[in-house]
Amino acid sequence: MNTQQQETAERCLRAAHDGTLTFPSIVKTLMDAGFEGYDIDFRRGTARYHLAGDSSTEITGHDLGGPVAERFDPTTVQQAIREAQTNAPGYTYVGFCEKVRAAGCAGYMVSFLGQRVVYFGRTAETHVEHFPK
C-alpha cells in the first residue's frame, strides 16, 4: 500500500464521520484508489481497508464508546440503512453507527467487488444489503 492510498482511506473515514462525503462518494473514491472493500469493527473501534491481494491498512479511532448490544435486530439495522440510503433528515454516519450498535451490530464488511455490505452481530447473525442499483 502506498502513502496516497493510506491517506485516501484515512480521509474517507474522517469524511464519513464529519459528513463531508456520502457513502456513494466514499465508495467511488476508495475504488478509484484501488481498494476492494473495507471492514468496520465496532468492538475494537477500527476500520480496515483492503487492496487486491493481501495488502490492507487498519485505522483506529472509530470507537463510539460503550458495548455493542447483545441481541442482533436485523429490522432495526435495515431501518438505519434505509435512513442512510435516503439521506433522511437529521441523518449522520455517527448516528447510523450508534443505531446499528444499539441493534446488536458488531460490525460490517463492505465488498465493492460483490456490491454488498454484510452486517453482523456478536452471535454471527447477519443481514446482507446489496448496493442500490
Q: What is the set of domains in the chain, with CATH numbers?
A: 3-130 (3.30.1810.10)
Q: What is the pLDDT of residue 62?
A: 65
Expressed in angstroms, the distance from the first to the final Cα of the chain is: 30
pLDDT of 119 > 90? The answer is yes
Instruction: Outline where 1-133 has alpha helix (H).
Output: 3-18, 23-32, 74-85, 93-102
> What is the rounded CA–CA span in Å between residue 87 and residue 19?
11
Q: What is the pLDDT of residue 14?
A: 93
> What is the rounded CA–CA span in Å between residue 117 and residue 130?
6
Question: What's the rounded mean pLDDT across residues 82-88?
Answer: 90
Higher pLDDT, 47 or 53: 47
Higher pLDDT, 65 or 130: 130
Q: What is the pLDDT of residue 87?
A: 86
* Long-range Cβ contact pairs of 22-25 (< 8 A, separation 24 or more): 22/87, 23/84
Q: What crossing angle do the helices spanning 74-85 and 93-102 adopt, rounded to 10°?
A: 170
> What is the rounded CA–CA span in Å between residue 6 and residue 72?
32
Higher pLDDT, 63 or 131: 131
- For residue 63, what pLDDT band results from cuts at 50, 70 and 90? low
Q: What is the pLDDT of residue 22?
A: 86
pTM: 0.91
The average confidence (pLDDT) of the chain is: 92
